[in-house]
Chain A
Amino acid sequence: MCRRADQEARRGQGTPLTNIAPNRPEEGPPITGSAEDDVDLSVYGPEDWVTFVLFWVLAVIVFLQFYTRYVLNDSLAWTEEIARYLLICVTFAGAAMAVRRNTHIHVEFLYVYLPRRLGFVLSTAVDVLRIVFFAVSTWFAWKVTVIMQFQRMVVIDWPMSYIYGIVFVGFLVMTLRAIQVAIRHWRQGGSELTRVAVEGRHQ
């Protein structure tokens, strides 16, 4: 949870701060965006770019729906259904991205009150439980995908297994990334959870 707060704060700090001159109100604050040219794109992994593409395809389709309905007054029938399916894809692909970056929302106040060693034991248990959940879900997502081969979408004649296939891949990547993150935590001797214990507060 504190991770997200960090990001928000940092995002804010990227914005040039506005200074106002008290006695010359007519000039007002300088208006500049945080058009960051120093954005580092190398922090993004392959699943992030997949999510990125899915997200923008989704945006274009939802916009198309809006445009055809309001402006042309004749909405495209397939846009709503495909948009809903793409949202599912963005969710499970993006969830993999969030596993790698370890940004899924969790509750961490318990660790403030725990001794360091116990905290490490429990945070390792959390890492293991996470892997188990993702692995089990991967397996069942695969089973649903197999069943859904014969279920067709409503407007377009495609099998529903396309969607569940992406959910399956999403869970698979989540499992692999969770293992990777768990190994990193083990080597570092702690995770974001135990860091809370060390610092004694959430910041």
Chain B
Amino acid sequence: MTTVLLLSFLVLLVLGVPVAIALGGASLLYVALEGNSPLLVVVHRMVGGVDSFPLLAIPFFILAGSLMNTSGITERIYAFALALVGWLKGGLGHVNVVGSVIFAGMSGTAVADAGGLGNIEIKAMRDHGYDAEFAVGITGASSTIGPIIPPSLPLVIYGVMANASIGQLFAAGLLPGLFMAGTLMVMVAWYAHTRGFGSDLIFSWRVFGSAWVEIAFVAATGGAAYLLWSHTELPRLLVFALLVGGAFAVNHVFRLRAYLPLLTPLILIGGMTTGIFTPTEAAIAATAYAMVLGVFVYRTLTWRGLIKVSMETAETTAIILLIVAGASIFGYLITTTRVTDDIASFVLSITAEPWAVLLLVNVFLLIVGCFMETIAAITILVPVLLPLMDKIGVDPVHFGLIMVLNLMIGLLTPPVGLVLYVLARVANISFERATRACLPFLIPLIGTLLLVTYWSDMVLLLPRIFYR
């Protein structure tokens, strides 16, 4: 009977039926043939699957990222990264990685990163005489940092499906994300060395110093916020007013370029990893902040622009959540039929060594990532793989990072590589050329993946500190 469920799902999926409908349709068919429960349970479960407070973070993380892109904040981040590392050899390559790290602290998807910041970066790199392959490769690779560093849509979905703490998942992503950025910068330095790239900015203390001034202001604001919030008895309304007023006053007086946008990752990552904000609250705060910046401070957001961005956000939200809805009935059925236990015992009959099981799972996830979109893969595979991970004693938070990183690498591999499509279009090169361009950059990513898989302490260090 379970064969019907799995087989009908796979057939529908490969036929090209939308993923959400393949999940719901296979479930309908199974429930109808099995005859034990009424069919309306399918619709009821689908609705119940979306009825979750953590999922509310999704629309607002998407909206915040899009608002940053439309209101020119992306350009400010780029300019900041340029001042900071543009003078290094292979400068724009480094700018690319640093910009992605900062943007990763504001947006939750790799595709938003590739479509927004990637667009600016590729154009600038081409103008400076970098070849298209290098530009596309580094932009693609650095955009996959986005969902590893919090906030992250894939990690929210994973947390909801695996019933794991999203705050802990976010804290777990921070170090691996920074490590990824580090390996990519080493890669850029190596390219610059072997190919003799020059720098893209003449080093000047004034420009370099200006970037550090902004960082100092951001750090000071963070410190002030922490002290006022945790170590004083002032009314919260006053603290809030002081912080917001202070930040805008500083920005106005010193005419800083990226100070206000740079506060976003501070608010989000600082607030969420330490548990002051839940992800949903952080998401709405970031949205409100991006709107204030776009409408009042930089005055770059128009009504029509806002309507367009909201429409796109609502649509993307619905597309993602309908998959979550379909996956919740499908996951419920495959769990109750205990087919997941069979799969786990089957894998363990091949090998019971945890490292070998992890290797098998990694290879499997990389292959799935080649063919399937991230959110769909997470919702379908979490109920299947989590019991197996449980049996070999892998922490669900650790496995969340492994899974998402695998699927991010899948964004850069054919035949279904969403980031590749976006970048091929932006750089105006063929899909095949973009694929080849990203190939060498998979080496540092897979290196990070191995480290994340086999060095669980790196992943779990921060969650242990913040969530004792």
- A interface with B by C-beta (< 8 Å): 1-2, 4-9, 11-13, 15, 17-20, 22-23, 25-26, 28-29, 31-37, 39, 41, 44, 48, 51-52, 54-56, 58-59, 62-63, 65-66, 69-73, 80, 83-85, 87-88, 90-95, 97-98, 101, 103-112, 122-123, 125-126, 129-130, 133-134, 136-137, 140-141, 143-144, 147, 163-164, 167, 171, 193, 201-203
Query: With contacts A106-B18, A133-B24, A140-B39 known, is A1 near B416, CB below 8 A?
Result: yes
Cβ-neighbour of B59 out of A31, A58, A140, A167 (below 8 A): A58
- The CA-CA distance from A112 to B18 in the complex, in Å, is 17
Chain B residues lying within 8 Å of A83, measured Cβ to Cβ, are: 53, 56
In the complex, are the beta carbons of B128 and A15 less than 8 A apart?
no
Question: Chain B: which residue is nearest A168 at the CB level?
Answer: B43
Chain A residues lying within 8 Å of B114, measured Cβ to Cβ, are: 8
Q: Using a Cβ cutoff of 8 Å, how many contacts connect chains A and B? A: 322
Query: With contacts A19-B124, A107-B13, A107-B16 known, is A13 near B371, CB below 8 A?
Result: no
In the complex, are the beta carbons of A109 and B284 less than 8 A apart?
no
Cβ-neighbour of B21 out of A73, A88, A104 (below 8 A): A104
What per-residue 1/0 map shows which CB atoms of B276-304 lie under 8 Å from chain A? 00001100110110000010001011101
- The CA-CA distance from A107 to B86 in the complex, in Å, is 40
Chain B residues lying within 8 Å of A22, measured Cβ to Cβ, are: 128, 200-202
6 contacts between A and B (CB under 8 A): A15-B116, A25-B204, A33-B75, A35-B301, A97-B315, A133-B28
What per-residue 1/0 map shows which CB atoms of B204-227 lie under 8 Å from chain A? 101100000000000000000000
- B interface with A by C-beta (< 8 Å): 12-21, 24-25, 28, 39-40, 42-44, 46-47, 50-53, 55-56, 59-60, 63, 66, 69-76, 78-79, 82-83, 86, 111-112, 114-116, 118-120, 123-124, 127-128, 200-202, 204, 206-207, 236-237, 240, 257, 280-281, 284-285, 287-288, 294, 298, 300-302, 304-305, 307-308, 310-319, 321-323, 325, 371-373, 375-376, 415-416, 418, 421-422, 424-426, 430-432
- The CA-CA distance from A85 to B47 in the complex, in Å, is 10
- The CA-CA distance from A79 to B19 in the complex, in Å, is 32
Query: With contacts A8-B112, A123-B16 known, is A91 near B325, CB below 8 A?
Result: yes
In the complex, are the beta carbons of A55 and B59 less than 8 A apart?
yes
Chain B residues lying within 8 Å of A8, measured Cβ to Cβ, are: 111-112, 114-115, 418, 422
In the complex, are the beta carbons of A25 and B18 less than 8 A apart?
no
- The CA-CA distance from A108 to B422 in the complex, in Å, is 17
Question: Chain A: which residue is nearest B128 at the CB level?
Answer: A22
In the complex, are the beta carbons of A33 and B40 less than 8 A apart?
no
In the complex, are the beta carbons of A48 and B311 less than 8 A apart?
yes
Question: Chain A: which residue is nearest B203 at the CB level?
Answer: A25
- The CA-CA distance from A44 to B307 in the complex, in Å, is 10
In the complex, are the beta carbons of A133 and B311 less than 8 A apart?
no
Query: With contacts A17-B120, A26-B207, A203-B421 known, is A130 near B17, CB below 8 A?
Result: yes
In the complex, are the beta carbons of A59 and B415 less than 8 A apart?
no
Rounded to whole Å, the gap between the CB of A193 and the closest CB of chain B is 5
In the complex, are the beta carbons of A105 and B284 less than 8 A apart?
no
In the complex, are the beta carbons of B71 and A33 less than 8 A apart?
yes
In the complex, are the beta carbons of A51 and B318 less than 8 A apart?
yes
Chain A residues lying within 8 Å of B416, measured Cβ to Cβ, are: 1, 107, 109, 202
Chain B residues lying within 8 Å of A44, measured Cβ to Cβ, are: 311
In the complex, are the beta carbons of A122 and B301 less than 8 A apart?
no
Chain B residues lying within 8 Å of A36, measured Cβ to Cβ, are: 70, 302, 304-305, 308
Query: With contacts A18-B120, A35-B70, A109-B371 known, is A84 near B56, CB below 8 A?
Result: yes
Question: Chain B: which residue is nearest A28 at the CB level?
Answer: B79
Chain A residues lying within 8 Å of B20, measured Cβ to Cβ, are: 95, 104-105
In the complex, are the beta carbons of B315 and A103 less than 8 A apart?
yes
Among A5, A55, A122, the most chain B Cβ lie within 10 Å of the Cβ of A5
- The CA-CA distance from A6 to B426 in the complex, in Å, is 10
In the complex, are the beta carbons of A18 and B123 less than 8 A apart?
yes
Question: Chain A: which residue is nearest B321 at the CB level?
Answer: A91
Question: Chain A: which residue is nearest B117 at the CB level?
Answer: A12
In the complex, are the beta carbons of A193 and B16 less than 8 A apart?
yes
Cβ-neighbour of B115 out of A12, A80, A134 (below 8 A): A12
In the complex, are the beta carbons of A91 and B431 less than 8 A apart?
no
Rounded to whole Å, the gap between the CB of A178 and the closest CB of chain B is 10
In the complex, are the beta carbons of A29 and B415 less than 8 A apart?
no
